Amino acid sequence: MSDLLKMTATEARNSLLKKEISSVELLNAYQNAMEKTEALNNYVTPTLDAAKQMAVNADKAYAQGNAGPLAGLPIGVKDLFCTKDIETTACSAILKGFLPSYESTVTSNIWHSGGVMLGKLNCDEFAMGSSNETSIFGPAVNPWSKIDGIDLSSGGSSGGSASSVAAGSALMSLGTDTGGSIRQPAAFCGVVGLKPTYGRCSRWGIVAFASSLDQAGPFTRTVEDSALIFSVMAGHDPKDSTSASLGYTNFSEAVKSNIEGLRIGIPAEYNVDGMDIEISDLWKKGRAWLEQAGAKIVDINLPHTKYALPCYYIIAPAEASSNLARYDGIRYGKRIEAETLDAMYEATRADGFGEEVQRRILIGTYALSAGYYDAYYLKAQQVRRLIKEDFEKAFNDVDVILTPTTPTPAFPLGAEVSDPITMYLNDVFTVPANLAGLPGISVPAGLSNQGLPLGLQLLAPPFEEGRLFSVANAIEKQAEFLLAPARAAGDLQ
């Protein structure tokens, strides 16, 4: 059983093609792992009946020789993707009971390629958070060891997506990243997390947080697996006017390409106050690994980096306040009855939204209100342009940028949740890529002194995910990171 859990997606795919294993066997192993790791609170809605049918279909397709690229591979989905007739809550009380009548484009691409849906995964409410603690279902727990007896945060907002892949209860999973929600939990849980270029994957059918920043992306155990699933997720969608008109690309080839002669930028501004020494040491190591692999290291400057976090925390809440206006007690999920229509809106929204979501709506409506719009929202948009231009200039001199993913390793649950500013600081290295629309990947690269995973982040110019995969693969090879969470379903080594 545990042998099946040890396989990467690429290995499982090859064994399925050779008929050494069946999709149903693989699903059974994952079902067992889901039961064993229930305490991690990763799945909010398991969909095992659907999974069974999908696995049977995948086995038929293998027998007939027409199996899609993901056929039989068990995949978990962040509960932010609308899944037809399957409860989709964004981990919010206000969406409890919402059964979408449609399927998001990205998930539909995955099922058409034969992927097997294990269930919906835990996340922060409406993807707002960095620890998965704002979820109505309670936090997803990090499968790596506890500290002083306290469970660690899986990171957020896609905590369940990262934790399940690390714990072996999903072979791969889907998440979304508005300001770091794929890369930060990937780093905390020791898995690979890719945030694609804005416009690369369709946002259609994904519960919107901040529409100019949101992107879907995969969590996997290896870079090779990331390329495998990303090739299926990406692509133009006429239903999303912001999706890029680019055809199918098979990114698996890019993983193996040589990085000799590539120029790797090291931005001075990412040496922020409060960064753990073990993180800056890892950053130096990453630099050395890439040099050994034949890349050239170039020191660069991204002078407006220091404004990225405040800029993000104006733009993201502003867009969120507008996107979340639709939850009015009439069109979706929950309603609290009251005497008048206005009173019903108020009661429904006060009861249905959690504290962090309400905070964002208040910040957002304030920043957009007449009189403050110019001072906050417009200013933030201008700063966003400067941040984007910093990257454009830097990419004249370098091919890829290397930074740490997070300023610290995973923290204990409860440690930061009462202080929003401390929580927001988690995103310091990840938000610039969203503001500039760039692709970014987090690769597990080492362990902290306490034995917790640490990630390195790579950023590339728009639509250069292939380049990210080649460099990420070089880091992965040299880091020899072993996926060994204490609370995994089986021995993943």
Query: Which of 107, 130 has the CB closer to ligand GLN?
Result: 130
SS (H, E, C) the chain: CHHHHHCCHHHHHHHHHCCCCCHHHHHHHHHHHHHHCHHHCCEEEECHHHHHHHHHHHHHHHHHCCCCCCCCCEEEEECCECECCECCCCCCHHHCCCCCCCCCHHHHHHHHCCCEEEEEECCCHHHCCCCCCCCCCCCCECCCCCECCECEECCCCCHHHHHHHHHCCCCEEEEEECCCCCHHHHHHHCCEEEECCCCCCCCCCECCCCCCCCEEEEEECCHHHHHHHHHHHCCCCCCCCCCCCCCCCCCHHHHHCCCCCCEEEEEHHHCCCCCCHHHHHHHHHHHHHHHHCCCEEEEECCHHHHHHHHHHHHHHHHHHHHHHHHCCCCCCCCCCCCCCHHHHHHHHHHHHCCHHHHHHHHHHHHHHCCCCHHHHHHHHHHHHHHHHHHHHHHHHHCCEEEEECCCCCCCECCCCCCCHHHHHHHHCCCHHHHHHCCCEEEEEEEECCCCCEEEEEEECCCCCHHHHHHHHHHHHHHHCCCCCCCCCCCCCC
| Nearest approach, Cβ of residue 376 and ligand GLN (Å) | 16
Query: Which of 177, 399 has the CB closer to ligand GLN?
Result: 177
Stretches 123-131, 225-233, 238-246, 258-266: which one binds ligand GLN (CB under 6 A)? 123-131
Residue 122 near residue 140, CB atoms below 8 Å: yes
Distance, CA of 183 to CA of 185 (rounded, Å) = 6
* Annotated catalytic residue within 104, 108, 181, 442: 181
| Nearest approach, Cβ of residue 120 and ligand GLN (Å) | 16
Q: Can you tell me which of 4, 91, 95, 128 binds ligand GLN, judged by CB under 6 A?
A: 128
| Nearest approach, Cβ of residue 435 and ligand GLN (Å) | 12
Q: Can you tell me which of 130, 142, 197, 406 binds ligand GLN, judged by CB under 6 A?
A: 130
Q: Does 119 bind ligand GLN (CB under 6 A)?
A: no
**Residues 203-222 as x/- pattern, contact with ligand GLN by CB under 6 A:** ------x-------------
155-to-51, 350, 440, 460 alpha-carbon distances in Å: 27, 26, 17, 23
Distance, CA of 78 to CA of 103 (rounded, Å) = 13
Greatest Cα pair distance, the chain, in angstroms, is: 70
* Annotated catalytic residue within 78, 120, 195, 334: 78
Contacts with ligand GLN in 300-339 (CB under 6 A)? 316
Q: Does 129 bind ligand GLN (CB under 6 A)?
A: yes
Q: Does 153 bind ligand GLN (CB under 6 A)?
A: no
State yes or no: is 212 an active-site residue.
no
Stretches 177-185, 398-406, 441-449, 459-467: which one binds ligand GLN (CB under 6 A)? 177-185
Query: Which of 316, 456 has the CB closer to ligand GLN?
Result: 316
Q: Does 127 bind ligand GLN (CB under 6 A)?
A: yes
Q: Does 152 bind ligand GLN (CB under 6 A)?
A: no
State yes or no: is 202 an active-site residue.
no
Query: Which of 416, 427 has the CB closer to ligand GLN?
Result: 427
Contacts with ligand GLN in 427-486 (CB under 6 A)? 427
* Annotated catalytic residue within 157, 158, 226, 442: 157
| Nearest approach, Cβ of residue 123 and ligand GLN (Å) | 8
Q: Does 154 bind ligand GLN (CB under 6 A)?
A: no
Q: What sign results for the dihedral spanned by CA atoms 89, 94, 96, 98? A: negative
Q: Can you tell me which of 114, 180, 407, 455 binds ligand GLN, judged by CB under 6 A?
A: 180
| Nearest approach, Cβ of residue 79 and ligand GLN (Å) | 13
Q: Can you tell me which of 31, 181, 222, 473 binds ligand GLN, judged by CB under 6 A?
A: 181
State yes or no: is 322 an active-site residue.
no
Q: Can you tell me which of 76, 179, 193, 404 binds ligand GLN, judged by CB under 6 A?
A: 179
Q: Does 193 bind ligand GLN (CB under 6 A)?
A: no
Q: Can you tell me which of 59, 79, 177, 278 binds ligand GLN, judged by CB under 6 A?
A: 177
| Nearest approach, Cβ of residue 183 and ligand GLN (Å) | 9
Closest residue to ligand GLN in the complex (CB): 181
Q: Can you tell me which of 37, 92, 154, 157 binds ligand GLN, judged by CB under 6 A?
A: 157
Interface contacts to ligand GLN, rule CB under 6 A: 127-130, 157, 177-181, 209, 316, 427
Q: What is the set of active-site residues?
A: 78, 157, 181
